């Protein structure tokens, strides 16, 4: 079987890549949402790996709930994005400075 630390390092690498993606694509709102999805996937990797190696299936239940919340989050996020694009004709984060005061 696969050692646990391989899985943990893979999940760490995935997490780091998506954090870097947030810095690189910090102006494109759609890519920011995609990076959030990738972050949640990396977290789920840890849950699944530990659940499997500690023989405790409760961790996989948590992945289930994380998937639910992530689906709801991306649905609402994309709805807000569509409304925003309709109002501003842009999804550039720098154009969204209304709340700055």
**Smaller CB separation from other proteins, 57 or 101:** 57
Q: Is the dihedral of CA 70, 71, 77, 78 positive or negative?
A: positive
Least distance in angstroms from the C-beta of 87 to other proteins: 11
**Smaller CB separation from other proteins, 89 or 100:** 89
Least distance in angstroms from the C-beta of 100 to other proteins: 20
**Smaller CB separation from other proteins, 97 or 101:** 97
List alpha helices for 25-100, DSSP H: 29-53, 58-88
3-state class of 92 per DSSP?
strand
Least distance in angstroms from the C-beta of 75 to other proteins: 5
Per the CB < 8 A criterion, the answer to whether 27 and 92 are in contact is: yes
């Amino acid at each position: 079987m696969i050692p646990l630390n391989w899985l943990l390092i893979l999940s760490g690498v995935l997490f780091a890549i998506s954090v870097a993606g947030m810095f690189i694509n910090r102006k494109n709102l759609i890519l920011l949402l995609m990076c959030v999805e990738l972050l949640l996937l990396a977290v789920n990797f840890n849950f699944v790996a530990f659940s499997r190696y500690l023989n405790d299936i409760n961790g996989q239940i948590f992945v289930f709930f994380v998937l639910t919340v992530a689906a709801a989050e991306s649905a609402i996020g994309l709805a807000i994005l569509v409304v925003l694009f309709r109002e501003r004709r842009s999804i550039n984060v720098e154009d969204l400075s209304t709340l700055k005061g």
